[in-house]
Amino acid sequence: MLSVDSKKKRTFEAIVIGSGISGGWAAKEFTGKGLKTLVLERGKDVKHIVDYPTTMLQPWEMEHRGQMPLSVRNENPIVSKCYAFHEGAAHFFVKDKEHPYIQEKPFDWIRGYQVGGKSLLWARQTQRWSKYDFEGPARDGFAVEWPIGYDDIAPWYSYVEKFAGISGNKDGLDSLPDGEFLKPHEMTCVEKYFSEKVSQKYKDRHIIIGRAAHLTEPKQIHFDQGRAQCQNRTICERGCPYGGYFSSNASTIPWAMRTGKLTLRPDSVVHSIIYDEKKGKASGVRVVDAHTKEMIEYYADIIFVNAAAINTNLILLNSTSNRFQNGLGNDSGVLGKYVAFHNYRARVNGEYEGFLDQTTDGKRPNSSYIPRFRNLYKQETNFLRGYAAGFGANRITYNSNQGLGETLKDNLAKKQYGNWSVGSHIMGETIPKESNFVALDKDLKDPFGVPQLRISVGYDDNDEKMVKDYIEQITEMFEMAGFTNIKASDSKQAAGLDIHEMGGARMGKDPKTSILNGFNQMHACKNVFVTDGACMTSTSTQNPSLTYMALTARAVDYAVKERKKGNL
C-alpha cells in the first residue's frame, strides 16, 4: 500500500525535463491546459527577484569590482571565455569541474544549471525564420528536409511574441518576417546613416534595428505577469528584478505556478527516460537527487525533453532498453549526430568621422542587425547557406591623463569625445554533418553516475569560405559608407562559444533519417517530444530561442490533443 501511495505521489500527466526557455514554455502551456505537470531541473532553484543577489550592486560593492580573480579564471578556462562570466553573473554559470566532458575537437560548452537555465543569461535577440530558412536543406540537399515550413509556425510565433514581449520595427522583409512587436529601440545616427547608404547601394541588403525580448512598452499581458518596462540597465545577465526582459523566471514559470498545476523540482539530475516494453511507450523519468544521490522515478503520460541541446542528446543516448539499445527513439541511428551551431568567429571594426556634433545618451540593450543576404533566393557563392551580422555604432569617449594634482583630477573627470566606433560580427549558419556528433563515453562518469559526453563538433571548409566572404562584403560596405581605420579579425574561437548548439535529435519527414516528426514527436516513441535546440534540422542564421518557444507551444497543443484522443 505504501508503495502504491508513493508511486501515486510521483505520477503526473506531463513531465518537462529542463526549465530554460523551451522548458518554461512547456510548463506554461501544459498547466494552462489543465495538466498536472512536473518540471525537473538539475540545478538549484532561482526565484524571480529573490535570487538575483547582484542585480542592484554597484561595481564598488563587489569584492573584485566585477572582475573575476585570476585563480578562478585559471580554474575555469572554458566558461571564462564567455563575455558574461564576471563577478555579477558567475553564479549562474556551470564551472568547468562541475560537469566534465571530453573534447574530441575543441568545443566550449557553456551551461547554466538553475531554474530558468540560460534564459537568465541569453542575449535576448529574437528573429523569426523565413520560408527560405526552412527550405534551405531541401534546396541544396545537405542535412534532411524540414517537415514543416514558415506557414506552419507563423501563428505560433505570433502567439509567443505577444506573451514574451518583443521589441522591433516592421521592416517588410521577406528574408526576415515581421512579428508582433513592441516599440523598437532607436538606432544611433551613424547606424541610420549606414542603413541609408547600404539601401542606396545594394537592393538586397538591409540594416535594421535588432529585434529583442525587451519590454520597451509593456502591454496588459506583461503587467499581468508582474513585469515592468525595461530600464536599459544592460546588466541583464545578473537577472532583471523588473522582468524587463523575457526569462522563464520572470514570466512562464510564475505564470504556470499560478494555475496550481505545476510541481517544480530543482536539484534533480535526469539520468534517463524509462521505456515500458509492454506498452511500447515511455512511462517516466529516472532522476538522481543532486544532494543525496538517491535515484527516484517519476511517471507521466507525456514527456517533453528540454534540457538544452547537448544535455537533451545526453539524456536520450543514456535512455537505453531492450527496444532501444542505442538510445531512446534511435531506430534511425542518427541520435547525437548532425549537431550544428553558429559561427561567430569574424568581426569587422572601423571608425566614422561624421556626426561629430552628436553622441548617444544612456544605454541600449540591443544593437542593429544585418539580415542574411547571401544565397537567400539562389546559390550564388562557393559556400552553402549564409550569414547574418550584428552592427553597432557608438561615439568613442576617453579621458585625458595629462597634468598633476587637481589638473589631473579634472582631466580624468571630464569625458572627451573622439570619432564614432563602428563594428560588426558574423552569425554564420553551419551545415549539420554526421561527423559533428556527441556520444557517451564508455568508461567515464560525471559526479552523478551519468556517462560523460564525448563532443566532436567543429568547423569545416564551408565555414572558412563563409568567414572570408563576410569579411570581404562587410569591409566593402564599410568602405562604401566612408568608414576609416577598418580592421577585420578572425578569433578562431572554438565551436560552442556561440552558445547556439543545435541538432542531434532532428526533425524530419522520414523516420529512417530523423528522430522527430513535424510536431517534435518521436517517430518511434510517440509520447516523448523534444522542442529545445536538439530538435533543429538546420540552424539558419537567426538567433534560435524564439523558434524554440514557438515550436514548444505548438508541440504542447498537439500533444494535449493527441492525449485526449487516446493516442499517447
Q: How many Å separate Cα 283 from the centre of its chain?
A: 29
Q: How confident is the model at residue 2 (pLDDT cuts 50, 70, 90)?
A: low
Q: Which residues contact 196 (CB under 8 A, 6 or more apart)?
A: none
Residue 272 sits at φ, ψ, to 5 deg, of: -170, 170
Residue with cell 551551431: 341
The average pLDDT across 60-75 equals 95
Mean pLDDT for 267-287 is: 98
Domain residue ranges of the chain, discontinuous segments joined by +: 2-168+211-341+438-456+496-564, 183-210+342-429+459-493
pLDDT over 70 for what percent of the chain? 99
pLDDT in tens, 438-497: 999 999 999 999 999 999 999 999 999 999 999 999 999 999 999 999 999 999 999 999
Q: What is the DSSP string of 112-165?
A: --BTTGGGGT---B-----HHHHHHHHHH-SS---S--HHHHHHHHHHHHHHH-
Predicted local confidence at residue 39, as pLDDT: 98
Q: Is the pLDDT of residue 555 over 80?
A: yes
User: Cα(294)–Cα(291) distance, rounded to whole angstroms?
Assistant: 8
Confidence of residue 1 (pLDDT cuts 50, 70, 90): very low
Dihedral of CA 130/134/136/139: which sign?
A: negative
Q: What is the model's pLDDT at position 323?
A: 97
Chain center to CA of 223: 25
Rg (CA), the chain: 24
What's residue 277's pLDDT? 96
Mean pLDDT along residues 163-178: 98
Q: Which residues contact 131 (CB under 8 A, 6 or more apart)?
A: 149, 150, 151, 174
**DSSP codes of every residue in 425-451:** EEEEEPPP-TTSEEEEEEEEE-TTSPE
* pLDDT tens-digit series, residues 111-156: 999 999 999 999 999 999 999 999 999 998 888 999 999 999 999 9
The answer to whether 320 and 277 are in contact (CB under 8 A) is: no
Q: For the chain, what percentages of helix, strand and coil (3-state, to nearest 5) are there?
A: 25, 25, 50
The correct answer on CATH 3.50.50.60 for the domain covering 2-168+211-341+438-456+496-564 is yes
Closest CA to 544 of 429, 462, 394: 429
For residue range 190-248, list pLDDT tens digits in order.
Answer: 999 999 999 999 999 999 999 999 999 999 999 999 999 999 999 999 999 999 999 99
Q: What is the pLDDT of residues 377-389, one digit of tens each?
A: 999 999 999 999 9
> Which residue type sits at 330?
N
The pLDDT-based confidence of 415 (bands split at 50, 70, 90) is: confident
The whole-angstrom separation of Cα 498 and Cα 391 is: 17
pLDDT digits (tens, 9 = 90+) for 390-406: 999 999 999 888 889 99
Convert the pLDDT of each residue in 289-306 to its tens digit: 999 999 999 999 999 999
Q: How far apart are CA 208 and CA 192, in angstroms?
A: 8
Mean pLDDT over residues 510-517, rounded? Answer: 98
- Provide the 8-state DSSP code for 61: G
Q: Identify the pLDDT of residue 141.
A: 87
Averaged pLDDT score across all residues of the chain: 97
Tell me which residue has cell 540537399. Answer: 141
